[in-house]
Amino acid sequence: MTVNLLDLDLEGLTVFCERLGEKRFRAVQLFRWIHQKGARQFDEMTDLAKSLREKLKTSARIEPLAVVSQHISSDGTIKWLFDVGGGNAIETVFIPEEDRGTLCISSQAGCAVGCRFCSTGHQGFSRNLTTGEIVAQLWFAEHFLRRHLQRDERVISNVVMMGMGEPLQNYGELVPALRVMLDDHGYGLSRRRVTVSTSGIVPMIDRLAQDCPVALAVSLHAPNDALRDTLVPLNLKYPLAQLVAACHRYLAFAPRDFITFEYCMLDGVNDTDACARQLAERVKAHPGAWCKFNLIPFNPFPASGLLRSKPERVQAFARILNDAGITTTVRKTRGDDIDAACGQLAGDVKDRTKVMVRMERNRTLRPHALQVSANTDTGVSA
C-alpha cells in the first residue's frame, strides 16, 4: 500500500526516503515540492532524480481531500466542505483581513465534547482526522488561494485549530501536522501565528507545552464550575481551578506572553456583571497580565435553547474586565451568512453522541450543576 506523504512531517519524510535508499536532502526537496509549490504529481518535481520519481510512483501518493462544496460570504470569508469518507465531511474556513489571512482548520469529523452552545457538538462525533487530512486543508486552501488571487507569495499567514473537533483529543495526529505548518521547508508559519484551541484537556495542555508549544486559546465560557459543568461537559473531569493553573504553566513555553480565553456570550446565562467580576477574580489569582479575553457573539441554533447576549450587555461585560486590568476584545462575527462563524461548523455528520443523554448523566454526576440561582454568588440563572 502506498504512503500518503501529507501524513509525514519532515522527519517522517526523511525516514521514508532513507527506506528508499535516498539521502536527507531528497526529503527536503520533496517536502518543498509538496508544501511550498503544491505539487501533486511526482513528474512535476523536476529537480528530483528520475530514479527517485519512479520509486515514489510505486510507493507513495499525495492525496488531497475531495471538495464537496465552496461558499463565499459577503465579507469575503470562504468555507469549504471536504469529504473524508464514510459519509463524513469536515469544514474549513478562510478569513481574509487587511493584515492577515487566517485559516480555521478542523481536527475531527464532528466533536465529542458536546458544548451546549456549539452546533458542531450537537451534530455528534465520527472519528479523528489523520495528520494528512489536517494538513490537506492547509495544502488545498493555500494553493487554491494563490491561484485564485494570482499570487506567488504565501496567502495564509495564520492557522487556528478552531474548526470541527477538539484538537487535543487527537493529539497524536495533531502534533506532526503542526510541525509541517511550522517547518521552514513547509509553510514556514510562526509559532505565534499557529493557535490550538481547546476546551480544556489539562494533561494534553502540559504535553503540548513540551512537544510543540504554539499559541493557546482556551474555551472558558463560564466563571465557576457549577455553570461550566452545564455548558462544557469536559469541566466535570478538569474543573476550572485545574484548567486555569495549566494555562498559567503553559506560559513558560508559549510563543506569546499571554493565553487567550474564549468566552461565548449567552443571554442571561453567563453575561452578568457578577460573572465578569468572578472571571476577573479567577484569573487575578495568578499574578501578572498573563491572559486576554475574547468575547464571542453566540450564533444561535434551535437545539441549543440559548440566545445571543445583547450588544450593550457584551460591552458592559467587557468594561468590567478591562477595568480590572484584563485586556478584553469583542470578536467580530465573520461568515455567518454561510454558517462559517464560530460554533456553526457542523458539516455532513450524524448525531452519534446522544447529547441529551450525556447531559442527563452529567446532572446525576454533579447534581448542583443546574441549580444555579440568580440569588447565589454566581450571579447567573439556570
Catalytic residue numbers, as ranges: 91, 342
Kindly state the cell numbers that stand for 117: 452552545
Question: Which amino acid belongs to residue 17?
Answer: C
Q: Which 8-state DSSP code applies to residue 81?
A: E
Residue by residue, DSSP assigns 196-237 as EEES--HHHHHHHHHH---EEEEE---SSHHHHHHH-GGGGT
CA 376 from centroid of its chain's CA atoms: 34
Q: From 44, 84, 51, select the one nearest 67 (Cα to Cα).
A: 84
Phi-psi region of 174 (alpha: psi -120 to 50; beta: other; left: phi over 0): alpha
Q: Where are the beta strands (DSSP E) in the chain?
A: 3-4, 60-61, 66-72, 78-85, 88-97, 100-104, 108-110, 125-128, 158-161, 194-198, 215-219, 259-265, 291-297, 328-330
H/E stretch holding 186 = none
Give dist(CA 279, CA 271) in Å, integer: 11
Question: Which amino acid belongs to residue 114?
Answer: G
Give dist(CA 37, CA 45) in Å, integer: 10
Give dist(CA 177, CA 132) in Å, integer: 7
